[in-house]
Amino acid sequence: MIKAVIFDVDGTLAETEEVHRLAFNRAFSNAGLDWSWDQELYRRLLKVTGGKERIAHFLEISGKPPMEAEQIGALHKAKTAFYTRMVQGGEVSLRPGIAEFLDALRERGTKLAIATTTSLPNIEALLSSTLGAHWRDRFVAVAAGDMVERKKPAPDVYELALRLLELPAADCVAVEDSRNGILSAKGAGLRVIAVRSAYCAADDLGGADVVLEDCRGLTMEVLEGEANDALALRDAR
């Protein structure tokens, strides 16, 4: 029996990446930089996990003048402020099927957790906006990217979530939308349900135990592996 479900955030609980992209561009403009990340460029930059890491990678591939770590940190902090204001303004909602799945898990008594590369302020902004001020009561454990040494695809954030849950990987399932997320969860020994998302639609999700086209496919039957041979969760290797 599955005792806990661990959710990624960006692209999984909500389609946030376009708002992240716009927030980056607003931060760049506010800082007097002539950078503008279009959707195609941002899709490529998403292969690098972590906002500060993404900015540093952009500097490397674009030939722009280098920045000190403190400058990158300040730029990312400004981006986070833009993002949180946009989310709090109602520009992002949960993906169809997520609210119903969360409610079904709560009724079943399944523990909920988060394992994401995004920062705690971003999580707070999104979930307080979509689930209400007491969203934290729903989640037994919240593991964020700024709480671990290495971000996805390293397993660190999922290992932290498991420690906070005080459960072995065999009792848990991760829900992810990206190749890096699957690698991270698998590295921590978890089974994975993958849901395709807008910005990671072309990712190779073949390492997941189940691949769904959208979050409306998240059901108790899929979770327990009772639907059919094509959707049933395989035993963790």
- 211: which DSSP letter? E
Q: Are 161 and 169 in contact (CB under 8 A)?
A: no
Distance CA 20, CA 122 (A): 10
Count CB neighbours of 157 within 10 A.
29
Looking at 10, 156, 177, 209, which residue is catalytic? 10
Is 34 one of the catalytic residues? Answer: no
Closest CA to 177 of 46, 1, 2: 46
Looking at 8, 156, 203, 209, which residue is catalytic? 8
Is 204 one of the catalytic residues? Answer: no
User: Scanning the structure block, which residue is given the tokens 């397993």?
Assistant: 155
* Residue 78 amino acid letter: A
What separation in angstroms does the CA of 130 have from each of 121, 127, 172, 222? 14, 5, 24, 24
Active site residues: 8, 10
